[in-house]
Structure formats: structure tokens, C-alpha cells
């Protein structure tokens, strides 16, 4: 404003003395993006390019919410007609088309929790010597995303630096929704939930249940039909029941139970339950572009990767791929007692009018009640959660994620990444996902560490395991969030 006043103070006398039209110099209002929180939530928010389209005079969004809601955020340019006399004095100014303000988009993100997650995930990635990492927190009763953090960060104010560097371009993605991975052991509670649902269907047909949670099954023989190599556990277990199998994270137990289930229910039934109950194989519908659907193979369709051994592999988290958000939603369903939820980032979008009123121009497509349709019976959920609680206690694979003073249900997972069509013995994907408090869950949290270094940590074991590199991050974030 001061520069404008100084310029006009010089210009008017100068123009008058030389008989130059005073309005030969004029000012137009333009806007520049400001990021008061820096790179916080950068990959989710994104930005717009500096250069504007020559015709529309609108800037192109680079991704994220900017791209998803571009039509609402950009508003509408107006048109006006200027009439001038030969002496260039402005005589009339007619507005042909009034401009419209862009909308305000209201998010479900809590900035305090977002900052907490970004701080802890950055520390974890550096400590693990990993390529990347992310943490996603959700309210399991409503599906509202409370935090979506990842590291390395994407700073929207420096977007050119990322898009012009092939080594940084991937940082602009929201990897929790774009990257699908084999979930590994984090799927085991879901496998048991499906098996318990199969029991209910069998009993309804007046048949014996396929297994019981307290029944001891042999877990030392990993040989199954159709498999060239036997399934192995990290440690040998002679007999396990469901609760101990979840605590010890037994691959053999999961495969043994699901082998019984599919013989009675069919392979297609198992596949359909993973889709119907947890939404695997389809995007969640989160309000962001480029969401992956993951990969859920179909029985009888060889091109999707289905074989006789697929059921066993899927039971402990291989031969299917899910996104972090899909897995977070699945655990949210366990947390809320078995009800379907739709993850959401946006509460509403409103447009302000000149009279000060605000009009809601966007809201979630479906009104989200506190409880939507039930997809798992409450008894099935209760049994699985009971086993998950053992996993995060002493002797469990997830014990480093235990929350002092709180009850939580959680599971850890570690899978080998596929490189050039084969499983790598050097690159891993590690996760930890759970919810707390168990009696009335306030949050469900997933922590993912991508390609942690394969190094030994004294007193802990190999550093690439989810229970070593991801579990402590879960504990730090969840403990502070519950006290927040």
C-alpha cells in the first residue's frame, strides 16, 4: 500500500504536466498463496502453479485437495465493460457478469495431532534409516481422518523443486492412499474375524463350527496342498489356540484355520468377505485424487494371481495388496464393534456471499450416521479384540507398542517388498496398527515404515521388523494423542 501511494504521488503531477491520462497507470489485485504452517499437511493440501492459463487466467493445481476441489476453490472470474472517451477519461464501468468467490473447504484434520504425527514419523524414519514413513489417525466411530502425516515432507511453497527433481517427485504423493502393499501379519485379526463369521454361518446351517477360539491346533507342520515349500513361523509352536496365535503371530495357525473354512464355505466366499467386510479391492472414496484400489485376487481367474495356495498365503497377508487407508478402515471396523465406516477428510465446503451469509456447496455424498451397516457380528469382534490385546503385552509380537495406562488392541506386520518381480531379501515394509482405549476407542492409528535398514539393534533384534521400528512410534503418538 505504501509503495502504491508513493508511486501515485509521483505519477499524477508528472502525467498532468505532460498531458498524459492519469489512468494510464492502474493497479489490479492479485493473490499469492501463503502457508502459515509451512509444510504441515503438504502432500494432502498441495498448491497451484505460479503460471496462469492465458485464456481462463486460472492457475492449475498440482495435486491433493487443491486438485480434488479445484472447481469449488477457484471460484469464477467476472466480466466488466469499460467505456472511455478519446481523451481516455473513464466514463462508465458496467459489470456484465459478477465474479464469484471460491469456496472454503473445512477439513477433519486436527492440527495439533497432525504436528505430533509429523514430528514422530520424521524421527522414526531417520532412526530406522528408512526411505519413507507415514502415520494415519482416524476416529473409528465417524471415519474422520484426524492426522495424515508422512516423511520426507512435501513443501507446497517449493513445489517446483519437487516436480523438477526425479528423486523428489514421489514425495508429492499421499503414499497412504497411492501405495498398495502386502499387509503381512496385520491381516491376521481380520482373517480370524472372517473365520468366526464362517462359524456363525455353519451353525446357522446346523453344522459344526470350523474351529473354536480356545481349541488347540497343531502349528508345527506347515505343509499344505499346492505349496512347493512349507509355511513357516518365526518361532516354532507345537500347539496354539486363536488368542495365542494372534499373540505369537503364527502363519501356520492362520493357514490351518482358513484351510478348514474354505473347504466348507468355498474360496469365493472368503474373497467376498474380505471385500464386503473390509472393503479390500476397491478405493475407500477418500476425497483425494489417485487413490489405489489395491489388489484382491479372484478365485478361478489365473490372471489375478489365484492358485490353490492363494488362500493360505492371503490368511497371513500375502498374495493381496492393500493401501494403508484400507487397512486403517478395517481396524476401525474392529474398533467400533463391527460397523462399516467411510474414511473422510472433508466435513463441508461453503461459499460466502456479499451479504455475509455462507452457503454449503459440498458435503459428504452420504450422511454419515454414528453407526452405519453392521458387517461383523459383535461376538466375532469381541473374540478377535481379546486376542489382539495379548499381542501388545509381554510375550506378544507387538509388545513395544503397549500404551502405559491404557488398554489397546494392535498388531504388527513385516513383509518383503517385491523388486523386479521377486521378493527382496533386503527391502521390507513394516507396519503397526491398533486402536485405544479398547472399551471406548477414541482413535485408530497406523504407522508405516518403508524400507527400514536391515541392521541389528542390540536388545531388540533386527531393526526392520514392524515390532521394532514402527511399534515405538505408535506408542509415542497414541500416548500423547490420548492425553491431548
- Confidence at residue 399, expressed as pLDDT on a 0 to 100 scale: 82
Instruction: Please tell me the pTM assigned to this model.
Output: 0.91
* Homologous superfamily, domain 111-482: DD-peptidase/beta-lactamase superfamily (3.40.710.10)
Q: Cβ(222)–Cβ(253) under 8 Å?
A: no
- Surface-to-core class of residue 182, CB atoms within 10 Å of its CB (0-12 exposed, 13-18 middle, 19+ buried): buried
Predicted confidence (pLDDT) per residue in 2-56, tens digit: 888 889 899 889 988 988 887 788 887 777 778 889 999 999 999 999 888 877 7
Q: Which residues of the chain have pLDDT under 70?
A: 84-93, 302-303, 366-371
In this structure, are residues 435 and 424 in contact, taking their beta carbons and an 8 Å threshold?
no
- In this structure, the strands spanning 48-52 and 132-138 are unpaired
Nearest to 191 by CA among 39, 383, 4: 383
Nearest to 441 by CA among 366, 380, 388, 399: 388
State phi, psi for 160 to the nearest 5 degrees: -60, -35
Cis status, amide bond into 49, omega within 30 of 0: no
Q: Which of 437, 439, 417 is nearest to 428 (CA)?
A: 417
Distances (CA, A) of 222 to 188, 339, 422, 425, 476: 16, 34, 22, 21, 36
In the chain, residues under CATH classification 3.40.710.10 are 111-482
CA distance 301 to 412: 31
List residues bridging with 454 in a β-sheet.
Answer: none
User: What cell does 305 get?
Assistant: 494371481
Rg of the chain, C-alpha, whole Å = 28
pLDDT of amino acid 86: 67
pLDDT of residue 20: 87
pLDDT score of 366 = 63
Amino acid at each position: 500500500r505504501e509503495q502504491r501511494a508513493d508511486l501515485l504521488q509521483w505519477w499524477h503531477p508528472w502525467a498532468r504536466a505532460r498531458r498524459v491520462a492519469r489512468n494510464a497507470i492502474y493497479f489490479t489485485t492479485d493473490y499469492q498463496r501463503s502457508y502459515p504452517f509451512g509444510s504441515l499437511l503438504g502432500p494432502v493440501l498441495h498448491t497451484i502453479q505460479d503460471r496462469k492459463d492465458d485464456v481462463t487466467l486460472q492457475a492449475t493445481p498440482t495435486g491433493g485437495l487443491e486438485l480434488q476441489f479445484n472447481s469449488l476453490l477457484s471460484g469464477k472470474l467476472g466480466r466488466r465493460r469499460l467505456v472511455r472517451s478519446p481523451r481516455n477519461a473513464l466514463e462508465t464501468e458496467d459489470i456484465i457478469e459478477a465474479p464469484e468467490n471460491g469456496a472454503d473447504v473445512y477439513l477433519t484434520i486436527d492440527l495439533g495431532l497432525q504436528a505430533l504425527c509429523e514430528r514422530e514419523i520424521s524421527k522414526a524414519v531417520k532412526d530406522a534409516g528408512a526411505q519413507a514413513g507415514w502415520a494415519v489417525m482416524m476416529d473409528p466411530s465417524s471415519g474422520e481422518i484426524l492426522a495424515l502425516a508422512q516423511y520426507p515432507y512435501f513443501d507446497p511453497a517449493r513445489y517446483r523443486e519437487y516436480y523438477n527433481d526425479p528423486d523428489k517427485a514421489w514425495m508429492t504423493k499421499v503414499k497412504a492412499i497411492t501405495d498398495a502393499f502386502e499387509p503381512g501379519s496385520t491381516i491376521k485379526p481380520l482373517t480370524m474375524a472372517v473365520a468366526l463369521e464362517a462359524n456363525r454361518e455353519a451353525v446357522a446351517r446346523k453344522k459344526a463350527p470350523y474351529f473354536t477360539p480356545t481349541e488347540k491346533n497343531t502349528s508345527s507342520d506347515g505343509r499344505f496342498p499346492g505349496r512347493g515349500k512349507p509355511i513357516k513361523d518365526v518361532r516354532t509352536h507345537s500347539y496354539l489356540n486363536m488368542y495365542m496365535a494372534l499373540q505369537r503371530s503364527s502363519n501356520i495357525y492362520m493357514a490351518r484355520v482358513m484351510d478348514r473354512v474354505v473347504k466348507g464355505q468355498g474360496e469365493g466366499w472368503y474373497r467376498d468377505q474380505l471385500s464386503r467386510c473390509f472393503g479390500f479391492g476397491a478405493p475407500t472414496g477418500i476425497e483425494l485424487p489417485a487413490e489405489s484400489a489395491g489388489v484382491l485376487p479372484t478365485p478361478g481367474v489365473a490372471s489375478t494371481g489365484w492358485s490353490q495356495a492363494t488362500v493360505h498365503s492371503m490368511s497371513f497377508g500375502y498374495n493381496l495388496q492393500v493401501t494403508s487407508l484400507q487397512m486403517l478402515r478395517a481396524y476401525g471396523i474392529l474398533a467400533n464393534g463391527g460397523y462399516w465406516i467411510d474414511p473422510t477428510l472433508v466435513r463441508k465446503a461453503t461459499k460466502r456471499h456479499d451479504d455475509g451469509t455462507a452457503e454449503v456447496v459440498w458435503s459428504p455424498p452420504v450422511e454419515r450416521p454414528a453407526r452405519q451397516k453392521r458387517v461383523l457380528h459383535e461376538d466375532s469382534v469381541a473374540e478377535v479384540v481379546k486376542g489382539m490385546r495379548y499381542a501388545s503385552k509381554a510375550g506378544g509380537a507387538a509388545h513395544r507398542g503397549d500404551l502405559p495406562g491404557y488398554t489397546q488392541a494392535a498388531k504388527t506386520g513385516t513383509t518383503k517388498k517385491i523388486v523386479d518381480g521377486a521378493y527382496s531379501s533386503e527391502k521390507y515394509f513394516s507396519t503397526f496398527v491398533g486402536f485405544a482405549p479398547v472399551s471406548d476407542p477414541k482413535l485408530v492409528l497406523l504407522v508405516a515404515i518403508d524400507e527400514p535398514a536391515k541392521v541389528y539393534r542390540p536388545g531388540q533384534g533386527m531393526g526392520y521388523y514392524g515390532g521394532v521400528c514402527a511399534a515405538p512410534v505408535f506408542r509415542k503418538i497414541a500416548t500423547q494423542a490420548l492425553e491431548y
